[in-house]
């Protein structure tokens, strides 16, 4: 059984990869400031990092958490850039990927708290 926090990170990372790939095509079609080399590179970096981070997390690579931290920063930067350009769908998906990575990293850093939370789920209300 996959940890739900890990599964959430995987889902959001793969969503970020797909959305950024779509946004690259959309931005190139729109032209202007949407199609600048810097913006396309930002989207490409985010897409690639989301894909690779998801792969490493899925394989339980020792490098997965470290890459997930970097990916969260890049996703946040990409979301901010997309918001400035009015690309709200991409901004929303990238921010969700960053948030999911952050939650996953916090779980890795504080495993005892995860167990406490799991135990609390079984306590009567």
pLDDT per residue over 42-73, tens digit each?
Answer: 999 999 999 999 999 999 999 999 999 999 99
* Per-domain residue ranges of the chain: 4-120
21-30 exposure pattern, b = at least 16 Cβ within 10 A, e = fewer: bebbebbeee
pLDDT at 109: 84
65 touches 29 (CB < 8 A): no
d(CA 84, CA 106): 29
- Can you list the alpha helix ranges (DSSP code H) found in 2-125? 4-30, 37-58, 64-84, 88-109, 111-120
Q: Higher pLDDT residue, 6 or 119?
A: 6
pTM of the predicted protein model = 0.85
Sequence length of the chain is: 125
36 touches 114 (CB < 8 A): no
pLDDT per residue over 82-112, tens digit each?
Answer: 999 999 999 999 999 999 999 999 998 876 5
Q: Higher pLDDT residue, 1 or 11?
A: 11
Find the mean pLDDT for residues 38-44: 98
Instruction: Provide CATH code, domain 4-120.
Output: 1.20.1270.360
Classify residue 20 as exposed, middle or buried by CB count within 10 Å of its CB (0-12, 13-18, 19+).
Answer: buried
The continuous run of DSSP H or E covering 77 comes out as helix 64-84
């Amino acid at each position: 059984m996959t940890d739900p926090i890990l599964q959430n990170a995987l889902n959001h990372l793969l969503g970020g990869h797909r959305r950024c790939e779509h946004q690259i095509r959309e931005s190139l079609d729109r032209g202007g400031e949407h199609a600048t080399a810097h913006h396309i590179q930002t989207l490409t970096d985010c897409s690639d990092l989301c894909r690779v981070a998801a792969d490493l997390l899925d394989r339980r690579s020792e490098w997965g958490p470290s890459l997930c931290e970097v990916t969260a920063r890049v996703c946040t930067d990409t979301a901010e850039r997309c918001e400035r350009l009015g690309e709200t769908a991409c901004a929303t998906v990238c921010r969700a990927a960053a948030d999911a990575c952050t939650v996953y990293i916090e779980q890795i850093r504080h495993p005892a708290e995860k167990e406490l939370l799991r135990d609390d789920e079984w306590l009567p209300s």
